[in-house]
Structure 1
Amino acid sequence: MRHTSPPAPPPVSEAAAPAEATRDTAAAPSRLPRATFRRAVRSAAWKRGPVLTGAALLLGLVMLLHGGIPNRAGSLGSLVETFLPWFGLLVPVLAAGALWRRSASAVLALVLPVTVWLSLFGGLLVDKSEPGGDLTVATHNVGAENPDPVGTARDLVASGVDVLALEEITEEDRGVYEKELAGAYPHHTVQGTVGLWSRLPLSDSRPVDIATDYGPLADTKPADVQLAGNRALRTTVATERGPLVVYVAHLGSVRLTPRSGFWTGSRDRNAQALGEVLAADRSERVMLLGDLNGTLDDRALAGITSRLRSAQDAAGDGFGFSWPARFPVARIDQILVRGVEPTGSWVLPATGSDHLPVAAGVSW
């Protein structure tokens, strides 16, 4: 018997190559451009917006290292610190630009200023007030140009506080305030342009030298002339819980001009002198009420803020801006304490002054 082999398969032509190989060959070029495109898009997102990225990082560094900005040229450091909370408004502006440019690097860079701003001011956004309090106080720069001192005095009486400090009292308006406040506040002292009115007895009231007059002619001024321009006082309030030493102060004005920049000479000199007075006062309970013409972030007030703490920071709700009255942008009117516990801090309604009154409650 003859052995026969199975028929050989027909030859496969090049045109009849397996379909699978054909599909793989066709798909490879299409997958390659898509992957490359995605990588290119991601790379471009990180490269876009270098200016926005730099601006975000610079903003964060300015807020983080504001204490290192020199004051030699026009008190630039103090100017930045005065309006430091407002730097946060640049964050949404930069964020909008980053989203519009689709810049991943700019979005990531914004983490720095957001984190720094929240660490500096986030605590102020929470209401920290507590019910109760042993004493309520208020301070108000009534304004030398106040067109309605009578109305201002009556508004302050309506606040119902126990102790009231006034700054920038003119000789012409002093009698008005003394008359209008007498019914609610039987005890008061006025030392030059500052005064304190109280429902509780006062003692040991006297002016405080904060270097308002300086230079070679300062000592030649008669005592009555020096007192007329005095801008700080010290007194003791007799409370049911014991004596409370109260300072009232109005530090020198600051000015922003193209030629000199942020001029703070008299304010800084007054702040240094007042800080030295506070450092020497060993009283157990001390309170400072007044217009300091500076925010507590300003390094020029460090001699004061290192010895007293802010009622607004401890027990307020928000920033408590007090100036200017029409559109407040800074809190330059302060209530600072030592040895008592703030229970609340708030801003009172506007009067005829260009400042808003601020008030606080404290307990022992």
Structure 2
Amino acid sequence: MKPLLRTTEPPSANPGPANGTPKRSITLVRRAIRTGFRPEPWKRGPVLAALALLLGLVMLLHSMLPSRYGNLGGLVETFLPWLGLFVPVLLAGALWRRSASAVAALLLPVVVWLGLFGGLLIDKSHSDGDLTVATHNVNADNPDPAGTARDLAASGTDVLALVELTPQARGTYEKELEKTYPYHAVLGTVGLWSRLPLSDTQPVDIETDAGPLGEAKPAEVKMAYARALRTTVATDRGPLAVYVAHLGSVRVFPRNGFWTDSRDRNAQALAEAVAAEQSERVVLLGDLNGTMDDRAFAGLAAQLRSAQEAAGDGFGFSWPARFPVARIDQILVRGVEPRSSWVLPATGSDHLPVAAGISW
């Protein structure tokens, strides 16, 4: 009987599973490398990439935006931090389109936003401080001025500025605050209450004669009462010059756009008054109807520091009270050191009170 012959295959040069998994893996890697170097991902989403670059340039060059027509620059600067919300929107679009160019372009607005506002995300506050100051626009239409006064008195503030006082509500604030603050001064619609003695109180002329569209106001319409004052607070570390101000309102008109003429002139006049101040230690409290990013406050920003930027935790938005989107109530200082800055709980006003601790 003939023996059964058995044939054997020669050993493979690349042994492996029958399904050829190693070869397939190598093929996939090579394909991925070739795909990564293809120009398609960089050509996708040109509109998204352009929008990302535009967003970054707007934030970077906001001070150069035109304000002659409709005050576009002022409007953008008022809500400048919120432009960062467009970054995740554009990122989602870039990922959906698988656009490498759009993702790369988003680096510009991210870096610019962090450069402008990244410091506000860090808690820079300290627990120590020689004096606590606060300011609050109490709102002329406040339905509960007595409750607002009691809330403010319980806040522990040493020096309290109130703006938008009305003749009808002034007596209520004086009555409710007199036990906590033995010293106070009121001129027109602004006032200051203090645990420490006050002296040399005088009005600061920041008024203008222009109406909302630039026309001259008649004498009977122009405000005859003060919207800013300057006084001296006697502290155990020496005199402290305190300014309280309520600058002109801003308006949005269909034909004129974002109107800030009155406020801007008030800001310039206030900056000139602060520049002429002889005291080394100065605190400015009040509703400036604008953020410190606005170019209208360049004169003040050159002389005074924002307590919120120097020693706050977060943006410190104060208006509107129900959903704050901007910090238009300011505490600015010179010659003293901000140690902390925070927003107080809501009252019956449409603004939130803001406070700061300062030190010598």
TM, length-normalised to structure 1: 0.87
Query: Structure 1 residues 153 and 234 mapped into 2: Cα distance closer, same or farther (>3 Å)?
Result: same
Q: 2: CA distance between counterparts of 1:217 and 1:36?
A: 71
Matched, 1:155 2:151: yes
1:109 equivalenced with 2:105 (yes/no): yes
| Residues 39/144 of structure 1: CA separation in 2 closer, same or farther (3 Å cut) | same
Is 2:44–2:101's contact at 8 Å kept on the other side of the alignment? Answer: yes
Alpha-carbon distance in structure 2 between the residues aligned to 1:166 and 1:308 = 20
C-alpha distance in 2, partners of 1:278/1:320?
24
1:13 corresponds in structure 2 to: none
- Counterpart residue number, 1:65: 61
Distance 1:158 1:37, change over 3 A: closer
* 1:1-364 paired onto structure 2 within 5 Å: 38-39=34-35, 42-213=38-209, 227=224, 229-364=225-360
Letter in 2 for 1:288: L
1:257: Cα distance to partner?
A: 2.7
Q: Deviations over 1:145-203 (max 9, x none)?
A: 10000000001001010000000000100000000000000000000000000000000
Summarize the Cα distance change of 1:220–1:322 in structure 2 as closer, same or farther, 3 Å threshold: closer
1:258 CA displacement? 2.4
Change over 3 Å in CA distance of 1:226–1:266 after alignment to 2: closer
Indicate conservation of the 8 Å contact 1:151/1:351, yes or no.
yes
How many residues end up aligned between the 2 structures?
333
Distance in 2 separating the partners of 1:220 and 1:261: 26
Q: Does the 8 Å contact 2:232/2:241 carry over to 1? A: yes
Q: Which has the higher helix share?
A: 1
CA displacement, residues 332-362 of structure 1 (integer Å, 9 cap, x when unaligned): 0000000000000000000000000000000
| Post-superposition offset of 1:130 | 1.2
Please say if residues 213 and 226 of structure 1, whose CA atoms lie closer than 8 Å, have aligned partners that are also in contact.
no
The residue type paired with residue 296 of structure 2 is A
Letter in 1 for 2:108: L
Structure 2 residue matching 1:140: 3-state secondary structure: strand
Find the aligned partners of 2:66 and 2:173 in 1 and give their Cα distance. 42
Whichever residue aligns with residue 55 of structure 1, its letter is L
Distance 1:48 1:69 in 2: 30
- Change over 3 Å in CA distance of 1:111–1:37 after alignment to 2: closer
Q: CA RMSD in A?
A: 2.3
Q: Is contact 1:212-1:231 (8 Å) kept? A: no
SS in structure 1 of the partner of residue 136 of structure 2: strand
SS of the counterpart of 1:62?
A: helix
Task: Tell me which amino acid in the other structure corresponds to 1:307.
Answer: Q
Give 1:35 deviation, angstroms: 5.7
Write the distance in 2 (CA, Å) between the matches of 1:74 and 1:198. 41
Q: Deviations over 1:256-299 (max 9, x none)?
A: 23221100011011011111111111211000000000000000
* SS of match in other structure, 1:118: helix
Q: 168-177 vs 205-214, which deviates more? A: 205-214
Q: State the SS of the aligned residue for 2:196.
A: coil
Where does structure 1 lack aligned partners over 5 or more consecutive residues? 1-18, 21-26
Q: Cα distance, 1:42 vs. partner?
A: 2.9
- Partners of 2:114 and 2:217 in 1: how far apart? 46
